[in-house]
Amino acid sequence: MAIGGDAASMVAVGLVWGTTNALMRRGALVWDHRLRSLPATSSSVTGVLRRWAELLLTWQYSAPFAVNLAASAAFFSLLGAAPISVAVPVTNATTFAATAVAAALLGEGTRAAPAALGTALIVLGVWVCIS
């Protein structure tokens, strides 16, 4: 695969990871709200397994989680063709920025200036790594 195709794949994986991170957070909040409205369960192994199963059965969490895992599989496949010293920073930088944007679009309080500064510093670091 050409480096352009690799870079596009890295950015695509980062966008998927970033978007699903924000969606999984929202799904976890739905699950947490549901959990708090129920009577307290025991902290035994069966209680913990029950809460874990309830989390996975919460579609608002499990659907983005499944997409996130698929992107992880694509990333590992990408690592076979792309240099890890480029793939990891590019994908992580894109994930960081996409998470901030997706969280803002979902109505979460996002501090735009620190997020933009962090993204700029990551881009600078990636540029230093690849030049």
Residue type, 62: S
Q: How confident is the model at residue 3 (pLDDT cuts 50, 70, 90)?
A: low
Q: Is the pLDDT of residue 52 over 90?
A: no
List the chain domain ranges: 3-130
Q: Is the pLDDT of residue 79 over 80?
A: yes
Using CA atoms, how far residue 102 sits from 59, 109, 114, 118, 127, in Å, is 18, 11, 16, 16, 24
Predicted confidence at residue 129, as pLDDT, reads: 66
Residue 97 or residue 13, greater confidence: 13
CB 85 within 8 A of CB 129: yes
> Mean pLDDT across the chain, nearest whole number?
86
Distance CA 93, CA 127 (A): 11
> In the predicted model, what is the mean pLDDT of residues 66-77?
96
Q: Is the pLDDT of residue 77 over 90?
A: yes
